[in-house]
Amino acid sequence: MTRTLAIKGSRKLLNAWAFYDWANSVYSLVISSAIFPIFYGALFRVADIEKVTIFGGEIARAPLISYTTSAAFLFIAIITPLISGIADYLGNKKMFMKFFCYLGGVSCIGLYWFSLENIYLGLGCYFFALVGFWVSFAINNSYLPDIAFPEQQDGISAKGFSMGYVGSVILLLFNLAMVMKPDFFGIESDATEAAEIKAMKYSFLSVGIWWIAFSQYTFRHLPKGYKKEGKTDHVILNGFKELKSVWHQLGGEVRLKRYLGAFFVYSMAVQTVMLIATYFGEEEIHWGSDTERTTGLIVSILVIQIVAVLGATLTALASQRFGNIKTLIVVNILWIMICIYAYFVITPMDFYIAAGCVGMVMGGIQALSRSTYSKFLPKTTDTASFFSFYDVSEKIGIVIGTFLYGAVAQYSGSMRNAIIFLGLFFLAGMFLLTRVNGKNK
């Protein structure tokens, strides 16, 4: 029996595309932002050590996970253009999206066996979960101009992010219930492991299963992709040729090049804030006890996720009224104000307010950045390769942003000074956006 594919712009196809955000966003919240950082720190506290021996030398826990994260993003920045070019050339980018989705989901499940004794296995699973998330997400982004018309792209992009925030919060609440009340779920301590640690490991299993299971709806309806014309021998070399071709095309797209420059600068700051927010709150806020610190950080993460749903929707409405570029300029101004405010936060309530403000602009700037880039693309079926430039810019920005943030914090002796430093990137991004000339776009 032949199944009829949904047509471009149809509600079924748009919803299927947006649903992948629901499927994979549980990784970014549960593992990247909430449960895994707590689990990782608990392993070292229980063992009463700060360093482990790995690759022939001793390294502290914070640099270890930081270096692993940086290595993963460098790998992503290298492999994404290659995969995207090959996917467009073969006309089956859904196959690659499936592979990296399953790689990420299985790696999340593998985190169940993360321990200091199996540190190589654990870090490997952490590394490939990160790779699977970002590469599959990049490929999904490249589908946007394929499945939606320009006038639909802002709305469906915002809907995707909103669905992601809602789905990830639902699973996080369930996992937090397990961690805080493990006995209610029949999880008990034993001679080797506390019940709370077991509950965290079960949460990793739930993320992998959720991600793989819910992605099936997306894979059922997304098209394979457009096949490039020409010979298919030396596919890897042809992938690089496609990237070179896209680079030359960018030379004639002044508005697109200017937008990419602006995006690179302000996205560097956005992604860095998202990655270091929990660490900033843990070190700089006067929580009181360790329990209050853990609870406060979790509440802050939930505030960001919930408010981000509203922020993404309001930003999409503003872009319809005032245009994408003008809206992005205003959002960058709001980010500057948040960085200034964060410099002075001390109490938990201060931090909750900052978290709410971050959530309001975080979802909006991500969704609108994605759809704005889609609108500025030239008419082409080579969407995967074009979007690889977008994603590589974001990933390289993460590497540079986190490195500079750490350097400023280290040499100035304060994470607060580093937050102000990030504000300068938003200021530069705002200025560069004024040069895009994206009126009514």
Domain range list for the chain: 11-433
Using one digit for the tens of pLDDT, what is the confidence trace for 393-425? 788 888 888 777 767 766 676 778 878 888 899
* pLDDT number for residue 1: 43
pLDDT at 347 over 60: yes
Supply the pTM of this predicted model.
0.75
Listed residue (2, 14, 430, 45) closest to 218, CA to CA: 14
Cβ atoms of 96 and 219 within 8 Å: the answer is no
Q: pLDDT per residue over 315-341, tens digit each?
A: 888 888 888 889 999 999 999 999 999
pLDDT value, residue 305 = 74
The mean pLDDT value of the chain amounts to 81
With a cut of 80, say whether residue 233 has pLDDT above it.
no
Total count of residues recorded for the chain: 441
pLDDT at residue 136 above 80? Answer: yes
Summarize pLDDT for 279-312 with one digit per residue, the tens. 677 667 887 766 677 678 778 888 887 787 788 7
Q: How far is CA 399 from CA 27, 286, 362, in A?
A: 20, 29, 19
CATH no. for 11-433: 1.20.1250.20
Q: What gap in Å lies between CA 425 and CA 267, rounded to an integer? A: 9
Question: How far is CA 265 from its chain centroid?
Answer: 16
d(CA 270, CA 266): 6
> How high is the pLDDT of residue 441?
46
Q: What's the pLDDT tens digit per position in 350-363?
A: 999 998 988 888 87
Cα of 15 vs its chain's centroid, Å: 20
Q: Give me the amino acid identity at 160.
A: G
What Rg value do the Cα atoms of the chain yield, rounded? 21
pLDDT at 438: 47
C-alpha 85/C-alpha 234 separation (Å) is 12
Range 366-378 average pLDDT: 81
